[in-house]
Each structure stands twice: as C-alpha cells, then as structure tokens.
Amino acid sequence: MKKMKKIFLSIALLTSAFFVNKVQATPIKLKAFMTFCGTIHTIEDTVSDKTMAAIFDYYEYMDCGD
C-alpha cells in the first residue's frame, strides 16, 4: 500500500502532472503533496512554497483530524 502511495506521488511529482485546460488550451503544471495520513492533493504549480505549507496544514486538519 505504501509502495502504491509512493509510486502515485512520484508519478505526480516527476512527470510534473500536466493536464490541458480545455477552455484556455493552456497546460497547467501541478504540484502534489501527501498529508501525514496518506491523502494526496494536487495544486497549481504557481503557488509559493509558503502557501503550499498552509495548504498542507489545511488538508492535514480536513483529512487527518480524526
């Protein structure tokens, strides 16, 4: 299970997880991160590292609060 999570995260990070916004036809680069309870979230690559830390805290609360 852990291996699967790692593989998923690695794919998300290493392949830079491109997808095409159909409206603007502009590729959007994504960042991915994993909470301590194992959930994975993706967010646009334009966010700063400090914002990433805040988003990580937010989802730690939402996903791992129990």
Partner 1 sequence: MSSKNLFIIVCCFAMHVSAQSEMDTTALRVSYVSKMRTMEDVKNLSNDEKVLDIGKHSSHFYSRWKEHNNAIMDSIFSRGGTYQDYRSELEKTGFPNSMTPFHVFKNYPKKGLLTYTDKVFQSFIYEEPMEMPDWKLSEGDTVVLGYHCKKAQTTFRGRTWNVWYTMDIPYSDGPWKLYGLPGLILHAADAKGDFIFDCIGIKQGNMGPIVLRKEKYVNCTPQEFEKIRRSSLENPDLYLKKIGFPSKGYDAKGRPIVYKPRIPCLLEYVLKNYKK
The contact set with partner 1 (CB under 8 A) reads 1, 4-5, 8, 33, 36-44, 47, 49-66
Residue (25 or 44) nearer to partner 1, CB: 44
Closest distance between partner 1 and the C-beta of residue 15, in Å? 15
Q: What span, in angstroms and rounded, lies between the C-alpha atoms of 19 and 30?
A: 8
Nearest alpha carbon to residue 32 among 54, 4, 10? 10
Measured between alpha carbons, how far is residue 2 from residues 26, 37, 39, 45, 66 in Å? Answer: 33, 11, 11, 25, 20
Residue (25 or 46) nearer to partner 1, CB: 46
Residue (25 or 36) nearer to partner 1, CB: 36
